[in-house]
Amino acid sequence: MASLEVRKVSKKFGNLAALSEVSLHAVDGEFLVLLGPSGCGKSTLLNMIAGLEPVTAGDILIGGRIVNDFAPKDRDIAMVFQSYALYPSMNVHQNMSFGMKVRGIPRAQRDAEVLRVASLLQLDSLLDRRPHQLSGGQRQRVAMGRALVRDPKVFLFDEPLSNLDAKLRVEMRTELKKLHQTLGVTVVYVTHDQIEAMTLATKVAVMKGGAIQQMATPQEIYDRPANLFVAGFIGSPPMNLVPGTLEEDRGQAVVRIGRPEDDLRLTIGALAEAARPHKGARVLLGVRPEAITPDSGDAAPGTAFDALIDVIEPTGADNLAFLTLGGAEVIARLPPNTSVAGQRIRLTIDPARAMLFNPTTEQLIG
Amino acid sequence: MSAEAAVGRLPAASAARRARAIERMIIYGGLIFFALIYLFPLAVMLLTSIKPLPEIHAGNILALPAEPTTDPWKAAWSTACVGVECVGLQGFYRNTFIIVIPATIIATLVGALNGFALTKFRFPYHRLVFGLILFGTFTPYQAILIPMARTLGTLGLSGSLLGLIFVHTIYGLPFTTVFARGFYYSVPQELVKAAQVDGAGFFRTFWSVMLPISTPILIVSVIWMFTNIWNDFLFGSAYAFGSNAPIMVALNNIVNTSTGEKPYNIHMASAMLAAIPTLLLYVIAGKYFIRGLMSGSVKG
């Protein structure tokens, strides 16, 4: 186990810049998730950490040591691949011990190590099977076992759950989290699935276009996304973004929404220092669906509004209500059985959970 | 459904069944007809090889032998005259195996290694290298006869079995490389990455991970190399002399050296003997051959 640091790392394929000056830091025992859409450079970055892709510029440090010029085997890492990449001609035992065999570890020690990890992952009864005789979930566990046997400093996961069906994916996600809690190892995990990122990570790095958009804890990324991309990428349904104009009313920040004749104003709490220069300018009001609730009469002044519900999507736990607010479509997460489509309803926005974005720079204001 | 309707449909159903039966008969009839045409020469060879000469001279090549004999086979094996020496095919049989086995093994393994390097360890100009190797598969044998003769002369390998092993290995490599490249193209790159992370180098990855999953394409290479070398006449007649000749050259010499009355039965027995190894190989490994070709071509 060890820390991992990526310092201003860039990668170019010919003239194409895949990564530009990316910096990351994962402390010992961190579960760092690299999250982003396909083509954002997250897998390239993981391959560079593994030593499978050369670094164009910058440094990669594992346990405080620069490993740029080290071969994968000398970096003390283990990797789990999307396709699992189990050796088809070898059985589970051979698959798990191949790395140790290549390193010349004596047979007795190899066997002991395989047995230890096999019992940890409940693979004991499968050791003689070939990969093609295993189910998807079992293959996944073998791939994990192959990574665990060598007790490496850093574990690298490249979308390890994306080849599993939905139910198994959720199960394996929990198993993975338990495993991380038990072993306390350092993990770098690549995924495009924001739920995996939210549930597993201790720290998330959201990537787009070869650059990190935001790096923080999952909760922080959810509550205070650094820009519109992160706001839209995290959360299902995504954050509501309503265009408006920022005004000040007795020290309070007020967003005027829609046409002037609508006279729709929402107060979102005290005007922050950072928001002051944007007074009178166009802004995007960002509100999570669950920050919009039915008004029971005790809403803070200026935070309530009337809206017509266009559509209701019941999820069981709650109803997703689609409304129109100042010309923009807004989704509110309402308690079940409280609303029907076509109904006019009075709602309120939690000012503490509203945020403002600059529509030109797409950055969070404040 | 009414009773009339059910009855009314019966003739139509049986007509359809009859049409299918006729269709089957035409298909099978055609297949059997063509099979007979293709088997006809083989049958004539076999029948002729077990007849005494007077029966052959009687004229009917399809007649069953009145007095079947194995003498022509024995003669072909050990006493038939090959050129001036009457030693039969046995020595040439051995020659050909001495050429075929090492050339097949070396070209198959090195071809697989090439294919692996060309698909999984992309090096600069790998496309150009592959293009040149591909060019090798289109080069006709005749074009390299004289340069190769010079090369063998310079290496001191003229007229030797080692020289023929060399020529066949070199000439087989472009083909085995192209086969293997097509196959390894469809093998996921992540397998190689996993081996790298496990600490395996180029040769270890090839030997422990890739080769064990390459059976289909290795069989294609082996069959290709074996039959081509076994059936080769051009290189054999150009680069080997006398007792070092391979089987096809010896067969030609048996057929061409007889003076006076031609022992057709011995000729046919010799030809059968010369053809048996390749026939056996196809019978044993033929289905893998098709499978291997498919696995390379469909995904490659």
Among B194, B200, B213, select the one facing A89 at the smallest CB separation.
Answer: B213
Contact B194/A79, CB-based, under 8 Å?
yes
Global confidence as pTM: 0.81
Residue-level pLDDT at A113: 93
Contact A73/B188, CB-based, under 8 Å?
no
Contact B213/A77, CB-based, under 8 Å?
no
CB contacts, 8 Å: B121 with chain A: none
B8 — pLDDT class (breaks 50, 70, 90): low
**Residue ranges of chain B whose CB lies within 8 Å of a chain A CB:** 188, 190-191, 193-200, 204, 208-209, 212-213
B259 — pLDDT class (breaks 50, 70, 90): low
pLDDT, tens digit, for every residue of B148-160?
999 999 999 888 8
Residue-level pLDDT at A268: 85
Lowest mean pLDDT among A207-221, A286-300, B256-270, B283-297: B283-297
Residue-level pLDDT at B299: 35
Residue-level pLDDT at B55: 84
CB contacts, 8 Å: A103 with chain B: 199
Contact B194/A103, CB-based, under 8 Å?
no
CA A143-A147-A149 angle, to 5 degrees, is 115
Torsion of CA B215, B216, B218, B219, to 10 degrees: 110
Lowest mean pLDDT among A10-14, B2-6, B28-32, B171-175: B2-6
Residue-level pLDDT at A79: 93
A85 alpha carbon, distance to own chain's centre: 24
Residue-level pLDDT at B300: 30
Sign of the CA dihedral with B22 first, then B23, B24, and B26 last = positive
CA distance A113 to A126: 15
Higher pLDDT, A344 or B13: A344
The residue of B183, B190, B191, B198 whose CB has the most chain A CBs within 10 angstroms, and thus the best one to mutate to test that interface, is B198
- Type of residue at A218: P
Query: Is there a contact between B229 and B99 (Cβ–Cβ < 8 Å)?
Result: yes
CB contacts, 8 Å: B195 with chain A: 87, 98
Query: Is residue B9 predicted with pLDDT exceeding 60?
Result: no
Query: Is there a contact between A4 and A24 (Cβ–Cβ < 8 Å)?
Result: yes
Contact B190/A50, CB-based, under 8 Å?
no
CB contacts, 8 Å: A132 with chain B: none
B129 — pLDDT class (breaks 50, 70, 90): very high
The pLDDT > 70 percentage for chain B reads 92
Query: Is residue B4 predicted with pLDDT exceeding 70?
Result: no
Residue-range domains of chain A with CATH: 4-229 (3.40.50.300), 240-365 (2.40.50.140)
Contact B199/A78, CB-based, under 8 Å?
no
Residue-level pLDDT at B298: 38
Residue-level pLDDT at B1: 44
B84 — pLDDT class (breaks 50, 70, 90): confident
CA distance B207 to A101: 14
Does B78-299 carry CATH code 1.10.357.10? no
DSSP H or E run through A198: helix A194-200
The pLDDT > 90 percentage for chain B reads 48
Contact A87/B193, CB-based, under 8 Å?
no
Residue-level pLDDT at A109: 93
DSSP-assigned letters across all residues of chain B: --HHHHHHHHHHHHHHHHHHHHHHHHHHHHHHHHHHHHHHHHHHHHHHHTS-HHHHHTS-TTSPPSS--SHHHHHHHHT--BTTB---SHHHHHHHHHHHHHHHHHHHHHHHHHHHHHHHS--TTHHHHHHHHHHHHHS-HHHHHHHHHHHHHHHT-TBSHHHHHHHHHHHHHHHHHHHHHHHHHTS-HHHHHHHHHTT--HHHIIIIIIGGG-HHHHHHHHHHHHHHHHT--HHHHHHB-GGG--HHHHHHHHHHH--SS--HHHHHHHHHHHHHHHHHHHHHHHHHHHHHHHHHHHH-
Residue of B nearest to A156 (CA): B197
Cβ atoms < 10 Å from Cβ of A121: 18
CB contacts, 8 Å: B188 with chain A: 83, 85
CA distance A52 to B194: 10
**B197-204 mean pLDDT:** 92
CB contacts, 8 Å: A71 with chain B: 196
Torsion of CA A57, A60, A65, A70, to 10 degrees: -80
Among B188, B190, B198, select the one facing A98 at the smallest CB separation.
Answer: B198
Structure ipTM over 0.90, yes or no:
no
Radius of gyration of chain A (CA): 25
- The residue whose two tokens read 């270890």 is B204
Residues 6+ apart with CB under 8 A from B269: B49, B50, B72, B73, B75, B76
Query: Is residue B297 predicted with pLDDT exceeding 70?
Result: no
* Average pLDDT along chain A, 366 residues, taken 10 residues at a time: 88 89 92 93 93 92 91 90 91 94 93 92 91 90 90 90 88 90 91 93 94 94 94 91 89 84 80 86 92 85 87 91 88 88 89 91 89
